[in-house]
Amino acid sequence: MEVLDTSIANVALPHIAGNLGASEDQGTWVLTSYLVSNAVVLPAGAWASSVIGRKNFFLSCITLFTVASFLCGIAPSLPILLIARVIQGVGGGGLQPMAQAIMADSFEEKRRGQAFALYGLVAVLAPSIGPTLGGWITDNYSWRWIFYINIPVGLLAFTLVTRFVDDPPWIKADRANLKRLDYLGLGFLTLAMGGLQIMLDKGEENDWFASNFIRTFAVLFVVGMAGLIWWEWRHKAPIMNIRLFKYKNFAICALLMALVGGVLNASTVLQPQFMQTLLGYTATIAGEALTGGGIALVFVMPLAGIATGKFAARNLAAIGFLFFAVAFYYNSITLNLGLSFGMNAWLRIILMVPIPFCFISITNAAYVGLPRESSNQVSGIINFVRNVGGSIFIAVTGAIVTNRSLYHQARLQNSMQPGNTAYSDRVQSLAGVFGGGQDGAHTAQAMIYNQLNQQAGAMAYQDIFRLLCWMAVIMVGFAFLLSKNRPGQGAPAGEAVH
């Protein structure tokens, strides 16, 4: 439900803005407010667990997330909705890393891959079904129900965690740690993530760095990130233990996970966007075309989980990124304006198949060689970089599609000249269909120009998938930089943290 809430509100934004008397631009803050608070809390789970215990922190996050979901549903105005979304993001930010850390500590290393397979199934399935579910609920009921549906799930989760989850002996809760919060680190983190998220969300809308507004938040991001790295490296009890990046295996896993999150989120946005803007699909139909990918994950995830116990993590990650490269290349040569529903569904399926091999192997490898006491920090940072990677890729790929569309549009327009025989013949042919004369010619030219814009858009999507293909090829090489650990065992000598 937490991962779902990062995407479920996307298609409902026009309804939310209209119902609350706000503009669509103002409505996008419903997404941004959640993502910013979520990103800030993700790395803070380790500190919170040291104060009240991991189980109590997990239960607190479930409660906060559930109550905030109810407040979002009853919000009478946009400001109140934004406040509720910030609270919901705070609660949700602790759910992902704590759930992952609990599973990492509950299973021995050789079975951990299968546990992460089940975790990964919902983590990557949720963004896929979010827009579909949000569109269906909004069309058939009300946008408020996209928040109300969290309530029964939250109550069930609270009950199950209370009964079945316990803290391991190495989790020592100490209320004295409340006074030891790394306030300056938290401030730098908030500044950096707030600047980054607002810059990414509002960049294209404000013409990126041509806008003083965007430049301001870019500076805040750079200052916040530089301050965060400088301070956290020196602090004895940092809110984000970036000293873990000294260990090659963890650093590479963090990079690869950022790219997995980026690829997953970017493709989840690009594919339905292509279907809606260029093929004329409704949000619901576009979402249905993504369903096959979710079904594929149900079958592939358990297989990938079993494979982690039989093959080295770096080999599985390399295979996953190689599959990604092939899938992206196939998308780039297949996308066209005459694509059928079935073909769109197939393209989604082949993009989903590699995800389990990358996601599970990288998640599993991130813990290799690190002491169990660091599991909260590891899970927090891994989830953090995955979310940040998703935000960056969504913004960057969207901007590239826009720019490449304009490029292809300008190039194709060179052929729309009276001296071009094919163009002139086409105008005359269509003008006759529309009644002839000057009006018929103008209508024909408008129709051809519209077709040109659509073709330019399709070519832009082909370009972005080709770029993602090359990026996946590069990641195959990075995957082989991971430590060569034997399946189900720890890191080689010299890689562990002491």
- Is 475 a residue whose pLDDT tops 90? no
User: pLDDT higher for 135 or 79?
Assistant: 79
Q: What pLDDT band is residue 420 in, cutting at 50, 70 and 90?
A: low
Q: What is the spatial distance between Cα 274 and Cα 281, in angstroms, rounded to a whole number?
A: 9
Cα–Cα distance between 174 and 189 in angstroms, integer? 24
* Distance, CA of 214 to CA of 210 (rounded, Å): 8
Token digits of residue 378? 């590891």
How far apart (Å, rounded) are the C-alpha atoms in residues 119 and 124? 9
Compute the distance between CA of residue 193 and CA of residue 44 in angstroms, rounded to an integer.
Answer: 13
pLDDT at 493 over 70: no
Residues with Cβ within 8 Å of 140's Cβ and at least 6 positions away in sequence, in order, are none
Band of pLDDT at residue 66, cut at 50, 70 and 90: very high
- At residue 440, the pLDDT reads 65
SS3 337: coil
What tokens were used for 153?
């799930």
pLDDT: which is higher, 88 or 445? 88
Farthest-apart Cα atoms in the chain, separation: 86
Cα-Cα-Cα-Cα torsion 309, 311, 312, 313, nearest 10 degrees, comes to -70
The kind and range of the H/E element at 420 are none
pLDDT the model gives residue 497: 39
Question: Which pLDDT belongs to residue 498?
Answer: 34
For residues 375, 378, 380 and 385, what is the CA-based torsion angle, rounded to 10 degrees?
A: -160
Which has more pLDDT, 107 or 468? Answer: 468
**439 confidence band (pLDDT: 50, 70, 90):** low
Tell me: pLDDT of 113 over 80: no
Three-state secondary-structure class, residue 490:
coil
What the block records as the tokens of 294 is 């979710």
Residue 67 DSSP class: H
Cα separation, 17 vs 14, whole angstroms: 5
Percent of the chain having pLDDT more than 70? 81
Better-scored residue on pLDDT, 456 or 5? 456
311 dihedral zone (left: phi>0; alpha: psi -120 to 50; beta): beta
Please say if the pLDDT value at position 207 is more than 70: yes
Which amino acid is present at 178? L
What average pLDDT is seen over the chain?
79
| Confidence grade of residue 329 (pLDDT, cut at 50, 70, 90) | very high
**d(Cα 363, Cα 379) in Å, to the nearest integer?**
8
Give the C-alpha separation, 336 to 274, whole Å: 10
Distance CA 207, CA 214 (A): 8
Q: Which residues of 130-160 are buried (b: 16+ CB within 10 A; e: fewer)?
A: bbbbbbbbbeeeebbebbbbbbebbeebbee
What's the burial of 123, exposed, middle or buried (CB within 10 Å: 0-12/13-18/19+)?
A: buried
Rg of the chain on CA atoms, in Å: 24
Helix, coil or strand: residue 103: helix
| Distance of alpha carbon 320 from alpha carbon 389, whole angstroms | 18
pLDDT-derived band at 11 (thresholds 50, 70, 90) equals low
Residue 431's pLDDT is 62
Structural tokens at position 82: 């934004």
Q: What is the pLDDT of residue 7?
A: 66
How far is it, in rounded angstroms, from Cα 204 to Cα 177? Answer: 42
Q: 490 falls in which pLDDT band (50, 70, 90)?
A: very low
Question: Residue 364: which of 299, 317, 303, 296 has the closest Cα?
Answer: 317
289: number of Cβ within 10 Å? 24
pLDDT at 457 over 70: yes
Give the range among 237-246, 340-349, 372-381, 457-466 with minimum mean pLDDT: 372-381
Confidence of residue 494 (pLDDT cuts 50, 70, 90): very low
Residues 6+ apart with CB under 8 A from 414: none
At 59, which amino acid appears? L
Q: What is the spatial distance between Cα 294 and Cα 269, in angstroms, rounded to a whole number?
A: 15
Q: Are 158 and 211 in contact (CB under 8 A)?
A: no
Per cent of the chain over pLDDT 90 is 11
Please determine, for residue 491, whether its predicted confidence score (pLDDT) is greater than 60: no
Tokens of 325: 């490269």
Are 332 and 401 in contact by the 8 Å Cβ rule? The answer is no
The pLDDT score that the predictor gives to residue 419 is 63
Count other Cβ atoms within 10 Å, centred on residue 443: 17
- Tell me if the pTM is above 0.95: no
At a CB cut-off of 8 Å and minimum separation 6, what does 344 contact? 271, 275, 279, 289
Give backbone dihedrals phi and psi of 99, rounded to 5 degrees, phi first.
Answer: -60, -45
Q: What's residue 65's pLDDT?
A: 93
